[in-house]
Amino acid sequence: MTMAITPPSGASRPIPARVRPFEGTRLRRNPFMRLMMGRDPSPSRAEYDALVDALWAGDAPMDALLDWMYDIGPAQARKLYEQAIENGIDSVADAPQPLRDFFALVDRDPHWLDRDLLEEGVSFIHRTGLVGPYVLRDFALMGGYLLSGFNHALVMTGALNKGAAQRIAETGKWWIDCTEHHGLDRFGAGFRTTLRVRMVHGMVRRHLPARPEWDNDQWGLPVNQTDMLATYLAFGPIMMVGMRAMGIPVTPHESKAVMHLWKYAGWLMGVDEQWLVDREQDGLVLLFQTFMTQSQADWTSKELGRALSEEPLARQFGWHKYAPWLERLRKQLYYHQHLSNSSLFLNRKQMHRLGLPDNILPWFPVSMLVPRFASYTAQRFNPLLKKRLERRGRRAQLDALKSMFGDRTHDIIRPGDNHPAHVR
């Protein structure tokens, strides 16, 4: 059995080498940033220290559950975990106390949860159609690869650089599950999928530090609280900033609803409550501050960026049996559309650091800007148009997911699957 490596505790914890010195986190005077975020986003000393400490923090409830699982035998324990996810903890006869403790935590609604507001966030995401996935994929994920502090765990587990199409599809499946109406209800698809992903993250955190190529002094704990925080914030603040840039006018109430949706999903995923925020501006400040803990682009940025850019070439649109040339043409079109989206948000130097062509123009998002703005503005005054936009948008999201999986089963990797993170 592989034992998890416990990081140093308290004041003796080293600062991982990936972290920028506090003196280098000061932002030059930038009135636009202050206006957008409501304050100077540069971290105070206390904020900086908290984010650095969080590089050593895992997910205590899941880590404790995994300790119990490996004590009694992971195969047997995972079956009980799956049964509790699918049917509730009361369906597990004589459920062991560690399992009861974990589900007592996740089965209760946090006091701040507003399920009506959560459902409003789902409806808004449906109306955005493919714009939300475009922003998450071509801005948040692609741009995140420039910060190599995140990347090394991904590369070592093979999560994106080896079989990028499969991993992107699995992430898309989780996103689709979470954004179904009532998907985050106790037995909804998003709730169940999130708990499975949470365990996979825990297994990576448990086993990866034991591998010789992982360097705690360089990167801290894998899948730590700071990295989980930055990932959670990509689905709220970054998505809404990107949507506005692509022509969708997000209202304050819509922003509040989307933030609430991902606040709850982040809580279920194991992000500590101290990092969960309600306001988009607060999320942008926190996201900016997490960048202070990240290394600059390195070879992993190019490997992951190039793999992600080529992912559309592996999709299946259902035409390969009847019109192979149309299938190839559509793959090439999607490949160039996604690169064009990225060029709207990333400059030429950043594109080059990601291993992408640096002469790409944002022709695709610019061509859609005016009609998209007009459509989303008109639906605010026409309830029938709003409902139609919601149905069409969700259908487009589901079709995109189908093209990612092709003939494969639409599912995420489950705890115990044959995954590089589990090799010990």
The answer as to whether 34 is a domain residue is: no
- For the chain, what's the residue count? 424
Domain contains 13: no
Q: Are 366 and 339 in contact (CB under 8 A)?
A: no
What pLDDT is stored for residue 323 in this prediction? 76
Task: Report if residue 230 sits inside a domain.
Answer: yes
Q: Is pLDDT of 87 > 60?
A: yes
pLDDT-based confidence at residue 296 (cuts at 50, 70, 90): confident
Average pLDDT over residues 87-100: 96
Q: Which two tokens stand for residue 310?
A: 């080529």
| Burial (Cβ within 10 Å: 0-12, 13-18, ≥19) of residue 92 | middle
On the question of pLDDT at 372 being above 80, the answer is yes
Predicted confidence at residue 419, as pLDDT, reads 46
Asked if residue 14 is part of any domain, the answer here is no
Instruction: Report how far residue 106's alpha carbon sits from residue 270's, in angstroms, rounded to the nearest whole number.
Output: 9
Cα 27 to Cα 399: distance, rounded to the nearest angstrom: 42
**pLDDT confidence of residue 291:** 86
What is the pLDDT averaged over residues 107-116?
97
Range of the domain at 100: 42-86+96-422
Determine which of 64-68, 258-262, 415-419 has the lowest per-residue pLDDT on average. Answer: 415-419
Q: What is the pLDDT of residues 388-424, one digit of tens each?
A: 999 999 999 999 998 887 766 656 666 655 444 443 2
What mean pLDDT comes out for the span 241-254?
Answer: 96
Answer with the residue of higher pLDDT: 24 or 79.
Answer: 79
pLDDT of res. 153: 86
Query: Considering the domain boundaries, does residue 211 fall inside one?
Result: yes
Q: Please state the φ and ψ torsions of residue 94, each to the nearest 5 degrees.
A: 50, 50
In a domain, 24, yes or no: no
Domain membership flag for residue 19: no
- Residue 37 is predicted with a pLDDT of 82
pLDDT for 188-241, tens place per residue? 999 999 999 999 999 999 999 999 889 889 999 999 999 999 999 999 999 999
Other beta carbons within 10 Å of 256: 17
Higher per-residue pLDDT: 249 or 327:
249
| 163, pLDDT greater than 80 | no
Domain tally, the chain: 1
pLDDT band at 371 (very low <50, low <70, confident <90, very high): very high
What is the pLDDT at residue 410? 59
What percentage of residues in the chain have a pLDDT greater than 90?
69
- Distance CA(163)–CA(220), nearest Å, equals 26
Could you tell me the pLDDT band of residue 268, with boundaries at 50, 70 and 90?
Answer: very high
Work out the pLDDT band at 40, boundaries 50, 70, 90: confident
Model confidence at 315: pLDDT above 90: no
CA distance 189 to 180: 8
Instruction: Give the pLDDT score at 321.
Output: 65
pLDDT at residue 7 above 50? no
Position 27 in a domain: no
